[in-house]
Amino acid sequence: MAPSIGNSMLSSNYEDHHWQRKLFNGAFTSQQLKNYFPSFLTHTNLLMKIWSYTCDKESGTNLTVLDDLSNLSFDIIGDVGFGYQFNTITSHSRNEFTSAIRYLAEIQLNASVFLKVLISYFPFLIQLLVMFGKRRKFIQIVRKTLNKLIEKRKKEIDDGISTEEKDIITIVLKDQQQESSKLTNDLIRDNLLLFLVAGHETTSNAMTWCLYMLGTNLEVQDKLREEILKNILDVNNISFEEVMSLKYLDCVVKETLRLHGPAPILRRRTMNAIKFGEYEVPANTVLQTHISSLHMNETIYADPHLFKPERFMTGEIPATFYLPFGHGVYNCIGKNFALLEIKTFLVKALLQFEFSVDPKHANYTKVIWLTAKTTEPLSIRVKPIVD
């Protein structure tokens, strides 16, 4: 991934990943998520307004919601990441920069597992891929734009114009000012690109699957809506604390990610020789864990193919058997960011709409790339709730 994502923490070795992760962790604390929350609400409210206008109030309207949710996630990351307003929710138009980001996201996330494994053994192949076609051009466009944004924000900080830690870029640039910081502009740029490319597509897929599961399990949808109505004091002024307090919502999201996780396969490379039972694994060996199979373990999950959010109510499921965001030092740094984004969207959506899936749209075929996707976009019937 390095040519697109550069030297971000995703493509770094253990030592570089460790200190990069430590520096960027400050942008994903609970307090920072609370600071980002108003932006999450602003963009989500905008999409809710559009759906209210476009969806039939009597019978509802079938939508391939993934496109809209991809725009929502894209706009949120642009705003909260570095104060950039993509405005894809309202305009659906793409400038040179947004087109380049979308293209790189498709390439990164839809490359087949076989290709990923092949590149892990023959890294020079990805260098050859970058040298040709649109990929190289788009990488240059994105890096140039992000470099300009970084320099602009640095100047604002130096001039005292931008001092509030309202977005990720401001937080990490302030850290860069410390003498001991090894954080270069290139590393900031590459990690911002990582958040954009990896973040918006996986989160929008997760939100789509949440709606699908709620649309095919109406009793769960009703129960979740009841929890939201019971615990949200003012539906027009939802707080961060209220969203985080919704226990059944947390269970619904967890169960959806168990069945339809963002990364069905987890790859790691051994640092030292290890032994698994009778098998000896040499150092520097690429190992793959099939997360989807792990999440179907009947010993841990009774009736694993059924959608049962209640299974997460007791807190008894071992952490090592639930890995939608990975595990250990390489787990997803944006995990809580993504979960808050998903939960904020679901709260707002269930307050204003009912979701269902027509039987003719209920079946789907999944294909496993770097992420799990369906061959055809999922269609969800969205019906406004009329008072």
Model confidence pLDDT, tens digit, residues 183-229 = 788 888 888 888 887 788 889 999 999 999 999 999 999 999 999 99
Report residue 170 CA to chain centroid gap: 21
Residue with the larger pLDDT of the pair 143 and 247: 247
pLDDT digits (tens, 9 = 90+) for 248-281: 999 999 999 999 988 787 878 888 999 888 889 9
pLDDT in tens, 1-16: 444 555 666 666 666 7
pLDDT digits (tens, 9 = 90+) for 142-176: 889 899 988 988 888 888 876 677 789 988 888 77
Answer for the pair 278, 387: CB distance below 8 angstroms, yes or no: no
Can you tell me which residue has the tokens 């759906």? Answer: 51
Beta strand spans in 320-379 (E): 353-356, 366-368, 372-374
249 and 347 Cβ atoms separated by less than 8 Å: yes
User: pLDDT exceeding 90 applies to what percent of the chain?
Assistant: 48
pLDDT for 111: 53
Distance of CA 54 to the CA centre of its chain: 26
**pLDDT at res. 40:** 98
pTM for the predicted model, two decimal places: 0.90
Would you call 36 exposed, middle or buried from its count of C-beta atoms within 10 A (0-12, 13-18, 19+)?
buried
Question: Can you tell me the mean pLDDT for 317-323?
Answer: 94
Q: Whose CA is closest to 33, among 338, 325, 365, 287?
A: 338
What is the per-residue pLDDT for 131? 46
CA distance linking residue 376 with residue 385, whole number of Å: 28
Distance from C-alpha of 212 to C-alpha of 383, rounded to nearest angstrom: 14
